[in-house]
Structure 1
Amino acid sequence: MQKQPLLILAVCFILGIFFQDKMMLAECTIYWTAAICLLLLILICFHSYFLYKTKTVLLMLLFFGAGIILHFYNSFSSGEHLQVKQKEIIIFKISQKLSSTEKYRKYEGTAQTGNKSLHSIFYVPRDYKELNFIHYYKTEAYITQPEAPQYDFQFDYTRYLGRKHIYYQIYISKEIGSAWRDDLTITDKLRQYRFTVLNRIDETGMSGKSKEFLKGIILADRTEIDADTARDFNKSGLVHFLAISGTHIVVIFGMLYFLLIRFTPLRFRKYAVTISLAFIWMFAAFIGFGNSVLRSCIMLSVYFIFMLLQRKPDLLHSLALSAFFILIADTQQLFDIGFQLSFLAVLGIYWLNQPFLKYFPKQDNYIKKILFNTITISLSAQLATLPVVLYYFHQFSLVSIFANFVIVPFSEIIIVFSFLMTALISASADFELINRVYDWVIHILLKAIHWFAEVDVLFFENIPMNGMEVLSVSAAVFLLRSLMLKFNFKNSMALMMAVLVFLMIRTGSTAFENRKEEILVHTFGKNKILSIKTGNKVSFWISDMKNEAKILRYVINPYCASRRVGGFEIKSMSSSAQKAVFRDKIYDLK
């Protein structure tokens, strides 16, 4: 507690959020929790020998309780149970553009119908004109509430939207009327200017893939990226390169800081850090405060504030403070996958980077330092996030290790080039030669990433992973540091015990699932799919093979990972079939 008080209190706060999310304590219990927290706060303020000795425990309990209380109020929404008709005339505005589908552009925003305000997801046909942030829109719409998934292995989209306080989906097929908004905030104006810059990128002469890459790597807009490119980044383990993360913020900060100290008068150089920090915060506001962006800006700011105050900067203090700022604003952010991966990656770098560097040659020049640190940082982050990646996505590619070694060393050059391109385009300075050079560079980059993604022999999917397995693997990663720093019998046995515990949990979980026999009827669009599981094998009977690829992605693969199935087969059945009989039981396929 003396060395890392903020980190320990942040962990207690997070545990309180998890506790409330699982137990869902009632309002009266929350009042009692608040009273206990108030009592703990009073006790901490008193000075006595006994209380001094227990102050650490009292503080941990106080922050645990604070997490429970705050998450209770962040989970409550008055819009969840509003009664609305299926067809309504609505007036709406958008606040964010989401990833598009084959048929629709998707937006997040607020609709007004009568005196009811609905925070919703809007589905607008792709052939309609793109919506912006400076208009109100009026139309007739079809309003639904997202349905809970049929089975436990499916992604719970209802819960995902509920964590963002979104409880309605609105489909638009009629003509949309518009009117200028007279209540624009600074945030709306920034969103609209970003929208304008995105449109200017579309008007350049670059190829479509280069445009979408530029939008994603600098402006955090991946809404129109094509499926093949997204698949290549995912399979190669380089999706973090396309998403705005700590690397991007640090590179942009470093670029501006370098320019300020090299090309400004001496009297202004002492303000270089302050100006650079102010710039990255403005940049973060411009592209939208995503988790990784906000975490990076807070950590960088805390780090340099410590330096300006002539205090020794501490990475874990910065990490804990950024977690507090984000979670106090919205505790639901804790359950965002990006939030979890972002913080785990930083913890992994802190914990494993230096031990890994011990096994590399001496870094006696700049090139070696950059190269070796790139490799060890990438490996540390991947190891720390691997358990959570397997838990959520059930897939991993060994080629991602090599892909990161090859691509990441060039990331700083690509980010700087992309940032300068965006700055020129936003200023309406469109130079054909520069566009061609950028297009050529990104074309080569995407070709290399595609080559890594095509190495299927190193790609593994349908990897089962439950919560207990995640904890045991994380413990093994935690113990790896001690073994790397000091290779001895004690540290080796500790790591081996963690691995053994993981294998025992995994074997037991697999044996438990393989004992089950299960027959399920799945609904996918208009398709009915019958799955028959016996032991570790399963057969899928599909009525319409046209959507086989999507069924494989959204039904078969998640089911196999959840049920720890060793193999599956796909069979065709008549689309007119209405019932199925298996072991004297009748299953309705209507």
Structure 2
Amino acid sequence: MELNKEPLLILVICFILGIFFQDYFLLGKERMYSVAIIETGILISIFFNTYFLHNTRVILFGILFFGMGLVFHFFNNHSPKANTSANKMETVILKISQKLNSTEKYKKYEGIVRLGKKSFNSIIYIPKNHEELDYKNYYKAEAYITQPRQPQYDFQFNYAKYLKRKDIDYQIYLSKIFFAVERNDLSFTEQIRQYRLNVLQKIDKTDMSGTTRAFLKGIILADRTEMDMDTVQDFNRSGLVHLLAISGTHIVIIFGLFNFLMVRCIPLKFRKYSIILSLIFIWLFALFIGFGNSVLRACIMLCVYFIFVLLQRKPDLLHSLALSAFIILILDTQQLFDVGFQLSFLAVLGIFWLNQPLLKYFPKADNYLKKLIFNTITISLSAQLVTLPLVLYYFHQFSFVSIVANVIIVPFSEVIIVFSFLMTFLIAFGLDFSFINQLYDGVIQILLKVIHWFAGADWVFIKNIPMNLIEVLVISIAIYLLRALILKINFKNSMNFIITILAFLVIRIGCNIIENQKEEVLLHSFNKNKIISIKKGNNVCFWIPDRVGREKVLQYIIEPYCSSRRIDQFEIKRIPFSTKKIVFGDQIYDVK
């Protein structure tokens, strides 16, 4: 497969490069006017000049889409909607727009807050024991308004920038809700969200166990807000978190289920419309659960695929993938920086790039079972190989057990998703059957125990894996070259792959040597406590006050620091809260 035969994919890549360029250099309004004028000139030249050679037209189209990326991202860069005084108590009126994952102390929401004549988007925190907020009410409350803090150091997650990309500039903590007033201006989308919230509350009232209810809400309704951290960690460590993220697998299975019912229920003369009705149904389902990146991508790709089928043309996966990415990014270029968006598209690209070459090494699949097993192995391996560099860059961890876990669990995912969908349908319409609940609860509890067993395989779980963007680029080139090597093992393909791997190792060793020569002393702020770290070469020691919990410090300070600074071993020392000086390596350091 040659990329020059995929013009739409190349143009989308140019569009993406334009977005990255504008995000990094932040061209101003005057320069953007110049870009727009150049874009207009190129567009006129392409359509009115027929003397351009083919290669020249291709280059001009690439520049055109690159400039489009610049312009669209310029207009998608959010600016504060209100200049609101932070770090003070205020009386506000608010409405929620989305429910978010809860923390140990708070329930979280996205919402629109009104303060006097000003309004702004905000993250809303309420105490964990407070009743749920809903979409059908305005709330008047006393709230403490803050702005997200920039991270202290480069290795920490930039939560303020993450919220900024979502057009959110403030966080508010509700201390007291005075009253709620029912809204009479609910939009159609908000009515759908309220109905979804009602279904979630109905699931909470069933007699299933808490973990099963949380699993059901996550796998079908894309709501993981109340899922306990241990369960989420099990899915992450076993490499099965994609089961909880509504993705292409879920959409295809639900589409297939509805199409199966349509073919058998509607009159024969209308059966040719079953595909169209099924496509309409999955869009309604996507609207109901919220248009997440993976959902939107899957729906667009499925529509493009079946449009090709209905037009009796050969479907093209890369065209479908590129078109879905282009539509999503035109609507909001900030989606490009969402990790889920990146991993979702890379996984599909990986399946396209490596699945068929890998299948050639398996025996002929002469029955359904063999086909299922072989495809499960190759699809899981393809997706994980292509997304691995990005996974290591963002999360710095990997478990080899994820390959085995996917091979064993994924073949049953179709049954689990269909069963979960039917359970949600029954509960939504008030058909709550105790014996079905118990059966579903039993099945899911077995599934969760198996996943927990996979997650417990610590000996194949590697943490604090350092990875920078240069390493990601080089190892991605190696994975790109892997296809040719799998298809044909010869001297040329082998040398190309080996040279790329050697280049990666040289770069990695060089980065390790440079980082291990540095020394630094950092004072970390953590929940009103001070933690000091002293790094000398490849060794680092953390001094932690006695009253600070070890696990949280490991998660938010130590492990990100070690990944960033390429440190294999670290030491933790406890110190009394009143300590003012510490001694390390024959030197004295001030803690306060």
Q: Which residue of 1 aligns with 2:578?
A: 576
AA aligned to 1:514 is N
In the TM superposition, residue 581 of structure 1 has moved relative to its aligned partner by 6.4
Q: Which of 532, 535, 538 pairs up with 2:534?
A: 532
CA distance in 2, matches of 1:173, 1:9: 50
- Give the structure 2 partner of residue 7 of structure 1: 9
Q: Distance in 1 between matches of 2:126 and 2:300?
A: 36
Q: Within 2, Cα distance between the matches of 1:43 and 1:18?
A: 26
Residues 583 and 537 of structure 1, relative CA distance in 2, 3 Å threshold? closer
**Per-residue Cα deviation, 1:97-150 (whole angstroms, up to 9, x for no partner):** 000011100000100011111100000001111000000000111000001000
Whether 1:451 aligns to 2:438 is: no
Structure 1 residues 377-427: Cα deviation after superposition (integer angstroms, max 9, x where no partner)? 111001011000000000000000100011001000000000000000000
SS of the equivalent of 2:465 reads coil
Secondary structure class of the residue paired with 2:102: coil
Residues 1:410 and 2:424 aligned together: no
**AA at the equivalent of 1:284:** A
Which residue matches 1:250?
Answer: 252
Per the TM alignment, residue 46 of structure 1 is displaced from its structure 2 partner at its CA by 1.5
The residue type paired with residue 566 of structure 1 is D
State the identity as a percent: 63
Over 3 Å counting, the alpha-carbon distance change for 1:483 and 1:157 in structure 2 is same
The farther-off stretch of 43-52 and 145-154 is: 43-52
Paired letter, 2:480: F
Q: Against the structure 1 CA distance between its residues 84 and 561, is the aligned structure 2 distance closer, same or farther, given a 3 Å change threshold?
A: closer
- The secondary structure found in structure 1 opposite 2:126 is strand
Paired residue for 1:559?
Answer: 561
- Taking structure 1 as reference, are residues 418 and 159 closer, same or farther at Cα in structure 2, changes over 3 Å only? same
Question: Any stretches of 5+ residues in structure 2 without a counterpart?
Answer: none
Which of 318, 336, 340 matches 1:338?
Answer: 340
Is 1:39 aligned to 2:41, yes or no?
yes
Preserved CA contact (<8 Å) 2:80 2:169:
no
2:182 to 162, 180, 183: 180
1:527/1:544 contact within 8 Å kept: no
Correspondence 1:398-437 to 2 at 5 A: 398-437=400-439
Tell me the residue number matched to 1:163: 165
Task: Determine if contact 2:99/2:225 at 8 Å carries over to the other structure.
Answer: yes
* Preserved contact between residue 519 and residue 530 of structure 1 (Cα < 8 Å): yes
Per the alignment, in what secondary structure is the counterpart of residue 118 of structure 1? strand
Indicate how the Cα distance of structure 1 residues 376 and 459 shifts in structure 2: closer, same or farther if over 3 A, else same: same
Distance 1:24 1:583, change over 3 A: farther
How far apart, in 1, do the equivalents of 2:586 and 2:69 lie? 52
Q: Aligned partners of 1:241, 1:542: CA distance in 2, in Å?
A: 38
Match in the other structure for 2:321: 319
User: Aligned match of 1:589 in 578, 585, 591?
Assistant: 591
**Counterparts of residues 241-320 of structure 1 (less than 5 Å):** 241-320=243-322
For residues 249 and 145 of structure 1, the distance between their equivalents in structure 2, rounded to whole angstroms, comes to: 38
Provide TM-score, normalisation by structure 2.
Answer: 0.98
Q: Which residue of 1 aligns with 2:379?
A: 377
The CA RMSD over aligned residues, in Å, is 1.4
* Partner Cα distance (1:362, 1:580) in 2: 67
Q: What do residues 439-470 of structure 1 show as CA deviations (whole Å, max 9, x unaligned)?
A: 00001000000000001000000000000000
**Match in the other structure for 1:114:** 116
SS of corresponding position for 1:105: strand
Output the CA distance in 2 between the equivalents of 1:556 and 1:158: 21
- Stretch of structure 1 that moved more, 69-78 or 346-355: 69-78
**1:576–1:237 Cα change, 3 Å:** same
CA distance in 1, matches of 2:340, 2:442: 31
In structure 1, give the amino acid aligned to 2:20: F
The Cα of 1:264 is off from its aligned counterpart by: 2.5
Match of 1:211 in 2: 213
CA distance in 2, matches of 1:488, 1:529: 55
Verify the 8 A CA contact 1:260 1:269 in the aligned structure 2.
Answer: yes
Report if the CA contact (8 A) 1:111-1:120 is conserved. Answer: yes
Is contact 2:304-2:320 (8 Å) kept?
Answer: yes
Contact persistence 2:521–2:532 (CA under 8 A): yes
Q: Residue 52 of structure 2 is aligned with which of 47, 50, 53?
A: 50
How many angstroms does 1:544 deviate by? 2.7
Distance 1:583 1:207, change over 3 A: closer
Measured against aligned partners, the alpha-carbon deviations of 1:26-78 in whole angstroms (never above 9, x if no partner) come to 21111111111111111111133236551111110000001011111101324
**Residues 574 and 54 of structure 1: CA distance in aligned 2, closer, same or farther (over 3 Å):** same
- Given residue 236 of structure 2, which amino acid in structure 1 is its aligned partner? N
CA distance in 1, matches of 2:530, 2:79: 35
Task: Please list, as runs of the form range in 1=range in 2, the aligned pairs for 1:90-169 lying within 5 A after superposition.
Answer: 90-169=92-171
Query: What is the TM-score when the length of structure 1 is the normalising length?
Result: 0.98
Residue identity in the other structure for 1:414? I
Matches within 5 A, 1:405-554: 405-554=407-556
CA contact (8 A) 2:95 2:137 kept: yes
In 2, Cα distance between the equivalents of 1:36 and 1:307? 39
Deviation at 1:204, TM superposition (A): 0.5
Structure 1: which 5+ runs fail to align? none
The residue type equivalent to 1:528 in the other structure is K
CA separation in 2, counterparts of 1:31 and 1:364?
Answer: 61
Aligned with residue 223 of structure 1, among 225, 239, 251? 225
Alpha-carbon displacement from aligned partner over 1:157-198 (angstroms, at most 9, x marks no partner): 000000001000000111341001111011000000000000
SS across alignment from 1:496: helix
Q: CA deviation at 1:546?
A: 4.0
Moved more, 63-72 or 263-272: 263-272
| Alpha-carbon distance between aligned partners in 2 of 1:116 and 1:413, rounded to the nearest angstrom | 50
- Partner Cα distance (2:248, 2:547) in 1: 43
Segment of structure 1 superposing worse, 430-439 or 522-531: 522-531
Note closer, same or farther for the CA distance 1:76–1:534 as it changes in structure 2 (3 Å cut): same
Select the residue among 396, 399, 402 that pairs with 1:397.
399
Counting matched residue pairs gives 590
Deviation at 1:537, TM superposition (A): 1.0
Question: Which whole-Å CA distance do the structure 1 matches of 2:364 and 2:178 have between them?
Answer: 65
CA distance in 2, matches of 1:357, 1:411: 21
Between stretches 81-90 and 156-165, larger displacement belongs to 81-90
Residues 495-547 of structure 1, C-alpha deviations (whole Å, 9 max, x = no match): 00110111011011111100001111111102211101111111000013541
Q: Is the 8 A contact 2:135 2:193 kept in 1?
A: yes
Matches of 2:332 and 2:588, distance apart in 1: 47
Alpha-carbon distance, 1:85 to partner: 6.8
Structure 2 counterpart of 1:178, one-letter code: A
